[in-house]
Structure 1
Amino acid sequence: MPVRWAGWCSCSLQSAGRRVRRMSRIILCASLLTAALVVTAAQPPSPRLGIGDVPPPLSPMAWIKGNQVTEFQSDHVYVVSFFATWCGASRQAMPLMSQLARQHAGDLTVIGVNVRESERGDPSVESISRFVAERPESFDHIVAMDDPMTAPLFQSWMRSADMYGTPTAFVIGRDGRIVWIGIPIDDRAVYTFEQAVADAVSGSVNLDASRAVHVETAREISEYLEAREVLADVDAARMRGDHAATLTAIDAVVAERPEYRHRTRDTRLSALLHIDESKALAFAEQELEFVSAGELAEHRGRIAGSIGRTVAGHPDLSPAAQAWALFYLRQGIEAEPEGSGGVLNWLSLAELEHARGHIDQAIAAQERAVRLARTAREVTAESLKELERTLSEYRAQRMDGATSP
């Protein structure tokens, strides 16, 4: 999976610590990692949908909030944003949609469409209505709901455009045609969602740049879906907690597809930690030597941080293993001190120091994580509150004279 996705996909973070695992699910949307593919072989492929095309009609199962949009009026801009309530990145994008709706009032209509809710949430109109009503600041725009069973809008819009993850946004220009398709919170896109919206309102969208964003994102999604199919047995064994079977499945994959050695590193390390800690640490050292000598050498520090998070998050570590985790985490922090990766590195360091009984060091690391989280776009308001609660817990323990959890 391309490194560019690290800001919103948790594929490289799935083996972090208990608190870090929870945070990574909130901070970084896991929708592209663990959700079931809605499209099946029994369903005929939908027509392809791209930049410059007329958008499909909006025929949702239910309109949750605001006026129904039965057609796209000319000389007006629309955003159709697909979200899932269980997706952290979707929650991150919701306030942005409302902000743009207010900023361009009169010229722009934003329609949030709930999709894929049955994969993890409660796929009922009542549940989605309650979710929206409880977050008025995030839903200052129209909201609708796709049918959770037949998923007509997910098919006719997202899958037709080779999109899959949430959030995904479509911008419809004043001429009634699609002028941008992509991930609205991907700041590293060559042509960002917010810029495309502003340009659509002014009538000067860069269609070539929009096509480049759509093509690149669709390519990465295709690679992800292929990888998920290849790793199906690995994920199934991991989910049921069969560590020996996980290792066997990884061996089978790597034997046939050597390029998957990097993709399965943290999963293999996590399984090994459950079976034999010394072998796991030896494997970690071996992998970093392999990385240092290969084409991924420039990413060695980031990979060390990922390994450190994996080791640090394992329960019942020996003092020696904790020391190794600390060593790897420091390398990760040096390579990636900021951004979402930095937040998780510092957060994992705080949890590790807390487990070691070093409350002052835990507080210092947690404070750094909180400071970074306040300015990191990937971090949702809910995630920030959880980080701050943990910091308060650590400080209270210090006040009580505690030196260990």
Structure 2
Amino acid sequence: MDVVTTMKLRALSVLPFAALLAAGAFAQAPPATQPPITLKLGDAAPELTIVKWLKGTPQTDLKDGKVRVVEFWATWCGPCKVGMPHLSELSKRYGSKVAFVGVDASERVDDIALAEKFVQDSGDMMAYNVAYATPKGPMTQNWMRAAGQNGIPCAFVVDKHGKIGWIGHPLMGLEEAVDLALQDKLDAKAAAEIDKTWEANMAKGQESFKALAAAQKDGKVDEALKLNEEVLRLLPYMVTSYAPTQYTLLTAKDPEAAAKFGNGLLKEKANAPLVLQAVATTIVNENSAVKGARDYKLAKTLIEQSLKCSAVSYGSNQTLARIAFATGDKEGAVRFQQEAVKMIPAGEAYNRVRTAAEKLLAEYQAAR
């Protein structure tokens, strides 16, 4: 059992945890001291200790014969937001056969209003059951800490018998684990095979990542496009970085293909606001490597779609300000940029951002 447990713990860290954290796969660093692991594969799933169900149907019985996915997230967690559209997609695909539960148990302050507003703004980005739990409370202690898991997002697959079948990143192995759980074939050996496959994917993805950088540097667009597609497939948590790269490379090769790709995101990533906003920002940023005429209409449409499943933010307002200014709407540029400046958090950590945003606002005001 010890060997299997050791292999299982690699589900969230098939590469070193620090590397994944730096790459954006997870948020939250490991604690200074790791408590003993008491929740292992094959163990009965702990109770769901929920303060309030925020969306969907409350899940109270983990031994009713249904497969469940219990995923830990927080409103401040960027990687969690990247994974949410995938959870929604899987929830829709599996329907009543699998219950997906997103548990916010990692807020920095115990304020349920933060989670309530986030869920309300998220719309179809979170098309599954969602709950709030006390930060660092029973859910964290009895699930995350007990299983030796330190980073979020983190998904637990609970099989038909109410036992833990797999633990890992929701974008790396969850679908495979759920499929096996539905067939009642998800045991420790099968879980280890899933982890082994994703370890290989991660290693190959890192190689493709390095080769992509070299191809871009050498101006080998066709090769770069192929490598970028591999990175998107093998390192799915990096989609917010490499969907914009795909669009940028396509503008250098085939502007019509770039437009098709961008418009395709409106359907394929309709509930993935971070992806939509990343591509829109790349289009309007004059310092990006986009070739040819900037498609401001597409950028605006991408932002507008993103706001159907996320709250208005500093970033979305500033992108809309850039679009307005570039298309001759100077009053609109000032208005959006003023809103962007208002939304920048207080504190020294944001001084550089605030200074740049205020400078841009002054430029828009001077141009009126």
The TM-score bracket by the shorter chain reads 0.5 to 0.7
Instruction: Encode CA deviations 1:288-310: one digit per residue, 9 max, x unaligned.
Output: xxxxxxxx9x97774365589xx
Cα 1:40–1:69 shift into 2, 3 Å: farther
- Tell me the CA shift for residue 86 of structure 1: 3.1
Partner of 1:117, secondary structure, is: coil
Cα 1:73–1:6 shift into 2, 3 Å: closer
Task: Return the match for 1:182 from 168, 178, 181.
Answer: 168
Identity of aligned residues (%): 23
Q: Which residue of 1 aligns with 2:210?
A: 303
The reply to whether residue 208 of structure 1 matches residue 198 of structure 2 is no
The reply to whether residue 172 of structure 1 matches residue 172 of structure 2 is no
Q: Please give the alpha-carbon distance, in whole angstroms, between the structure 1 residues aligned to 2:224 and 2:63.
A: 50
Partner of 1:51, secondary structure, is: coil
Unpaired segments of 5 or more residues in structure 2?
Answer: 1-9, 234-238, 286-293, 297-322, 329-368
Instruction: Encode CA deviations 1:36-63: one digit per residue, 9 max, x unaligned.
Output: 43x344xx82542222110112113443
Partner of 1:31, secondary structure, is: coil
Q: Please give the alpha-carbon distance, in whole angstroms, between the structure 1 residues aligned to 2:206 and 2:57.
A: 49
CA contact (8 A) 2:73 2:152 kept: yes
Q: Which residue of 2 aligns with 1:292?
A: none
Q: Please give the alpha-carbon distance, in whole angstroms, between the structure 2 residues aligned to 1:137 and 1:345.
A: 23
**Farther-moved stretch of structure 1 (156-165 vs 60-69):** 60-69
Q: What is the 5 A alignment of 1:349-388?
A: 361=252, 367=258, 374=265, 380-388=272-280
Q: Please give the alpha-carbon distance, in whole angstroms, between the structure 1 residues aligned to 2:138 and 2:103.
A: 12
Cα 1:341–1:75 shift into 2, 3 Å: closer
Give the partner amino acid of 2:275. Answer: S
The reply to whether residue 48 of structure 1 matches residue 35 of structure 2 is no
Cα 1:339–1:151 shift into 2, 3 Å: farther
- Tell me the CA shift for residue 128 of structure 1: 0.5
Give the partner amino acid of 2:210. Answer: I
The reply to whether residue 29 of structure 1 matches residue 24 of structure 2 is yes
Q: Please give the alpha-carbon distance, in whole angstroms, between the structure 2 residues aligned to 1:399 and 1:346.
A: 24
Q: Please give the alpha-carbon distance, in whole angstroms, between the structure 1 residues aligned to 2:242 and 2:85.
A: 26
Q: Which residue of 2 aligns with 1:197?
A: 178
Q: Which residue of 1 aligns with 2:111?
A: 124
- Tell me the CA shift for residue 127 of structure 1: 1.0
The reply to whether residue 337 of structure 1 matches residue 251 of structure 2 is no
- Tell me the CA shift for residue 84 of structure 1: 2.4
Q: Please give the alpha-carbon distance, in whole angstroms, between the structure 2 residues aligned to 1:185 and 1:381.
A: 16
- Tell me the CA shift for residue 112 of structure 1: 0.9
Q: Please give the alpha-carbon distance, in whole angstroms, between the structure 2 residues aligned to 1:12 and 1:205.
A: 26
Cα 1:51–1:369 shift into 2, 3 Å: farther
Instruction: Encode CA deviations 1:108-133: one digit per residue, 9 max, x unaligned.
Output: 32211113332xxx652001011111
CA contact (8 A) 1:81 1:111 kept: yes
Cα 1:109–1:13 shift into 2, 3 Å: closer
Give the partner amino acid of 1:135. Answer: S
Give the partner amino acid of 2:164. Answer: I
Instruction: Encode CA deviations 1:50-84: one digit per residue, 9 max, x unaligned.
Output: 22110112113443234443432332222111122
Give the partner amino acid of 1:154. Answer: T
CA contact (8 A) 1:98 1:139 kept: yes
Give the partner amino acid of 1:159. Answer: R
Cα 1:101–1:331 shift into 2, 3 Å: closer
CA contact (8 A) 2:158 2:165 kept: yes
Cα 1:11–1:336 shift into 2, 3 Å: farther
Instruction: Encode CA deviations 1:367-403: one digit per residue, 9 max, x unaligned.
Output: 39956994999x9443224313542673459999xxx
Partner of 2:41, secondary structure, is: coil
- Tell me the CA shift for residue 345 of structure 1: 6.7
Q: Which residue of 2 aligns with 1:80?
A: 70
Aligned residues: 270
Partner of 1:98, secondary structure, is: helix
Give the partner amino acid of 1:333. Answer: A
Unpaired segments of 5 or more residues in structure 1?
Answer: 15-27, 187-191, 221-295, 309-324, 354-359, 401-405
- Tell me the CA shift for residue 95 of structure 1: 3.2
Give the partner amino acid of 1:337. Answer: N
Give the partner amino acid of 1:156. Answer: N
Task: Return the match for 2:82 from 73, 83, 92.
Answer: 92
